[in-house]
Structure 1
Amino acid sequence: MSVHDLRPAGEPSTWGARHAHDPTVVRDDDGMYYMFSTDAVANSENIPAGVHIRTSRDLVIWHFTGTAFDGVPRPARDWSGATGLWAPEVVRWPGAGWHMYYSASTFGSNTSAIGLATAPHPSGPWQDRGLVVATRSGVNTQNAIDAAITFGADGAPWLTYGSFFSGIYTLPLDPASGRPLQEGDLGSLIARRHPSVEGALEGAFIMYRPDQDRYMLFASYDSLFNSYNLRVAAADHITGPYRDVRGLSMTDLEAPPASIGTKVLGSHRFDGATGWLAPGHNSVLTQDGPDGGEEHFLVHHVRFADDPSQHIVQLRRLFFNAAGWPVVSPQPYAGREREVLGSAQQLSGRWRVVRFDPDSTDLVDAVPLELESDSHEPFDGGPAAVRLRADGLDLDAVVFGSWDWSRGEAALSFSGIDRHGVAWCGTKGA
């Protein structure tokens, strides 16, 4: 499907990866990928409720296959008044098939609930198991939405959740039941933002990195309507403290709100082509790569800059630079075969680059920049950790093969972080 192929919401069978929010992707044993997402589509009628499900064989072409439930399960509906389900998190549960943690709420309220459902297979049948965390307006400061599951260093499961209101929380789960170890536990605070920006923080996802014995927190800042951007921070323990590249804590209310969290993806555009607006609410798909090691994909939704009512899910390559920080491809994933470079290329030369200014939520146009590398060997696709430099700029980066969407060809791309903790990315070519 062309990324420019926009039709009205219409029949779900025509959607592909469009009209999806808050996505997570899992892979079943037979190689089929399943995407689960929020079941709301703005300005559309007759959209089925109950968690949307799509399937794919290649992470590029997606087919809508229906919903996990016939509407909102009754316990969640009775608690929250929700007419749809948000932000499903689906994980393989050790020895017990699959677990889904879904959110039920109404916009602007923290009378919310996270429910649990189980299934023997990602395609279902999904059986609702009731509520696991619930919050109520006027009683709790937390907001029980946007669940994410992390299996920690010892293999124990944790539930991370939260949103505007009082921030992001994490709590331990019972490995057998998948419910809180302590009934009624609302968890420990791990991230928040200042009331001056309405506490604009949600969609958290924690990734454990065994090779670093470190936890990576991804979170979406600002407004889902036009200014979402993805920030990261790291901690030695799942309960924090989480600090960004500059060492600022994700619970700090003294520093300027836009300065906290390392911004790794924001609104951007290449060559005047499609502008990608407000990327956010990510998860991470980790799987075995072709070289025997792991490969990672950032899974997120994004809006079209020329029509922000339209959404699409994108996957982007996710790498880790020499210092161990996550960096994100500037190009959406287009399939493994399309990323193969036609010939080896020198790293030094003219690139089109994007700088993700943490103080700005504007859409950034890529600009030309001459970059130099210490390596003078031609590069055939990688990925590889490198240093890229220009006047006053020194990037701890990763270079890799990609598909240049604006020019319709395989190309060399990079993503990295400078000495000030600012992320840059780019694609080779004048």
Structure 2
Amino acid sequence: MFTALTALISCLTLIVGSLAAFPDPLALSGDSFFVHDPSLVQRVSDGKYFVFTTHNKGGIITATNLAGPWTSVGSILPNNSTINLAGRDDIWAPDVSLHNGVYYAYYSVSTFGSQESAIGLATSPSMDPGTWTDLGQVFRSTTGDAYNAIDPNLVIDEGGSPVLTFGSFWSDIFQVDLGSNFQSTTSSPVQVSFNSTSPQPEEGSFVWKHGSFYYLFFSSGLCCGFSASSLPPAGNEYKVFVGRSSSAHGPFLDASGRDLRNTGGTLVLASHGNVYAPGGQSIFTDSKSGKDIFVYHYIPVNSPVPYSDTYASLGLNAINWSSGWPVLTSI
């Protein structure tokens, strides 16, 4: 009896400890819901925060304080993308970063379940609505390719050259080198991460340089379209994993030494408490606090319509790198 009780207490302790391992996101005010695949950038000139999201033609939400109030102010491409593919009026997963005084927004044009997809590029001097110039297609995929050209992320490699990481399902995450104009590709796609468990649910890749390592984050599992009455088996919903490499091109290994191309990945964030299916991640360094901030969306369990995409919300946590691996903390 004592042994059984001790075992039960130990199991409960492990469960509670696991749930407590993930901190709650920062409490936000304003227009911080209906946010998917957020890219957060802090404007250099005045410290203003800009979040760019899937849908709403590349929705733009801004705030002067990280906690808000956040205000929806417009779109990257209010007149649609110039890329002639289905989905040009509903761009996905914009990835925004500053290079040489110009803000670059890589974005996706596609429809659900299709490989007829493209990655486009728009630029702006300030990130404000109405200042974005669409430069059109950078890279695309077609039916039968090993990859799907969506969910782009730009990183500068150890040689100072731009690299685009992308991919969703099919054979998961790939990279392609870009030219110095950030617009033309100079190599064929190379696979950098693969989940051998059908249906290969990896997407939303994001590469971040910290110290001497490049960290490749990706989301895995079901992202959206949930119903409170028919949720997927626990653990099959979105969650975030990571691997790292001394090169922006990989190979990326998880904390156990397993290659991400061989179903590797160290867990960074998963469902807990009011947070369900977190993913679509990015990172930025907050100039006000000096901290690296982990940015993601999640489905609030206690929203007016539980588990509904309509209430997908912006999640923000700080990152502790002291172990050499990203551990999320409260802000």
> Normalized against structure 1, the TM-score is what?
0.64
1:200 maps onto 2:185 in alignment: no
Match of 1:350?
none
CA 163–121 in structure 1, closer or farther in 2 if over 3 Å, else same: same
CA 16–164 in structure 1, closer or farther in 2 if over 3 Å, else same: same
Would you say how many aligned residue pairs link Structure 1 and Structure 2?
A: 287
Match of 2:49 among 27, 33, 36: 33
1:145 maps to a residue whose letter is I
Match of 2:242?
232
Partners of 2:281 and 2:295 within 8 A in 1: yes
Greater strand proportion: 1
Rg larger in 1 or in 2? Answer: 1
Q: CA deviation at 1:223?
A: 0.7
Match of 1:134 among 130, 140, 147: 140
Match of 2:285?
286
TM alignment of 1:260-275, pairs within 5 A = 260-269=264-273, 275=274
2:139 maps to a residue whose letter is V
Percent identity, aligned pairs only, is: 30
Structure-2 separation of matches of 1:251 and 1:69: 35
Q: CA deviation at 1:82?
A: 4.2
Q: Give CA deviations for 1:209-244 in whole Å, capped at 9, x if unaligned.
A: 2x3x21101110111026110101011212211110
Structure-2 separation of matches of 1:328 and 1:180: 36
Structure-1 separation of matches of 2:253 and 2:189: 19
Q: Give CA deviations for 1:62-94 in whole Å, capped at 9, x if unaligned.
A: 11001111242132xx22444401000111121
Q: Give CA deviations for 1:116-169 in whole Å, capped at 9, x if unaligned.
A: 11111111411111100101113x221010011112223322111101011111
Match of 2:170?
165
TM alignment of 1:325-364, pairs within 5 A = 325-329=325-329, 331=330, 333=331
Match of 1:20 among 9, 21, 35: 35
Q: Give CA deviations for 1:21-71 in whole Å, capped at 9, x if unaligned.
A: 0001111111111110011xxxxxxxxx31100111111111100111124
TM alignment of 1:406-417, pairs within 5 A = none
1:156 maps to a residue whose letter is S
1:68 maps onto 2:81 in alignment: no
2:278 maps to a residue whose letter is P
Q: Which gives a bigger RCO, structure 1 or 2 (Cα 8 Å, sep 6+)?
A: 2
Q: CA deviation at 1:286?
A: 1.4
Match of 2:252 among 242, 250, 253: 242
Structure-2 separation of matches of 1:220 and 1:132: 23
Structure-2 separation of matches of 1:233 and 1:151: 17
Q: CA deviation at 1:4?
A: 9.8
Q: Give CA deviations for 1:251-270 in whole Å, capped at 9, x if unaligned.
A: 11xxxx5xx3110110001x
Q: Give CA deviations for 1:77-116 in whole Å, capped at 9, x if unaligned.
A: x224444010001111214x11110101101111100001
Q: Give CA deviations for 1:268-312 in whole Å, capped at 9, x if unaligned.
A: 01xxxxx1101101000114454xxx4100000000124111210
1:303 maps to a residue whose letter is I
Match of 1:366?
none
Partners of 2:157 and 2:249 within 8 A in 1: no
Structure-2 separation of matches of 1:170 and 1:54: 29
Structure-2 separation of matches of 1:157 and 1:53: 24
Match of 2:291?
295
Q: Give CA deviations for 1:360-419 in whole Å, capped at 9, x if unaligned.
A: xxxxxxxxxxxxxxxxxxxxxxxxxxxxxxxxxxxxxxxxxxxxxxxxxxxxxxxxxxxx
Alignment partner of 1:22: what SS?
coil
CA 166–71 in structure 1, closer or farther in 2 if over 3 Å, else same: farther
CA 268–101 in structure 1, closer or farther in 2 if over 3 Å, else same: same
Match of 2:189?
187
> Normalized against structure 2, the TM-score is what?
0.82
Structure 2 unaligned blocks of 5 or more:
1-25, 227-236
Alignment partner of 1:251: what SS?
helix
Partners of 2:297 and 2:313 within 8 A in 1: yes
1:221 maps onto 2:220 in alignment: yes
1:204 maps to a residue whose letter is S
Partners of 1:22 and 1:282 within 8 A in 2: yes
Structure-2 separation of matches of 1:303 and 1:89: 21
Match of 2:17?
none
Structure-1 separation of matches of 2:48 and 2:288: 16
Structure-2 separation of matches of 1:160 and 1:237: 13
TM alignment of 1:103-182, pairs within 5 A = 103-124=108-129, 125-138=131-144, 140-175=145-180, 177-182=181-186
Structure-2 separation of matches of 1:81 and 1:312: 23
Match of 1:304 among 300, 303, 317: 300
